[in-house]
Amino acid sequence: MEPRPLPDPDSEELAALVGSTSQRLLYGLLYRRRDHPPTMVELRLFAAQALGEDQSQTDRRVRELRRYFDVVAERRDGEHRYVLRGWAEHPAADGAPISLRRRAEVLAPQRCAMCGRTPLEHHVTLVVDHRIPQSWGGSNDVDNLQPLCEDCNAGKRDYFHSFDAHADEIRKAISYDEPQRRIGALLAAFEGKWVRSDLIGIVASAKEYQEDWQRRLRDLRFFGWKIEHQNRHNEGARVRAYYRATAIAPIPDDIPGVIRAETARRKAAGAARSARTLED
């Protein structure tokens, strides 16, 4: 069987696969110099001159390309040279590519959705990010896409990679129709460990945006769940909120009906206590 041909550096196939312009340009250098592969010194010089980037970013960009392509360091003539051999043996399973039209639509705001930096003011490069990673079941629907600068995108990817051990459970949680069931399945998967609020919010909004996902989280208490909350002030400039379930219970089929019944029961119990207080 003939090996799968590599995409041309200017092709739509590469643009749909690799969202970063800088990575595509670096790929182009490796592609054009397959017969005389560059050294890391040359790659870093290219990053500084052609991309205007700090040379420390080059190693990370090569690692990112290796998600899709077989890029190896071979010793030739006493130097390590980076050879683009072909596709990776197991390319990253990122699902169907995003069309150029949709990519342009997502990037149109020209501002990073996380840090707010812009290409014109801050000289950052924006990429298309999946709010819910495709490996977790996220789609290419425009509601699941957002513009991120490369730094925020790399940080988000590293953060989400820390949950790889729970990927199957997260994928299952995202598949549920009700936000309460999605949140419950996520907390249960972590078996009493703390879960950061942004991950809960993402899973809660997997099928439709939840403006008040904290309320859906509190709904679990109607079913007998015990949930603890913690704020952490030592994780950068922002205060991070975490939640964990210390006791779980089955989630009923009729979630709205059980919530209404329990709310009515509690209201009646409160009224009865108030009446006894007045009598006393």
pLDDT reported for residue 94: 55
pLDDT, block means (10 residues), the chain with 280 residues: 84 72 86 92 84 71 85 87 88 66 91 93 89 79 89 84 78 90 94 92 85 92 95 81 95 92 87 74
Question: Is 26 exposed, middle or buried, given 0-12, 13-18 or 19+ CB atoms closer than 10 A?
Answer: buried
Q: Which residues pair with 213 in a beta bridge?
A: none
Model pTM?
0.61
pLDDT reported for residue 101: 86
Nearest to 169 by CA among 136, 194, 132: 136
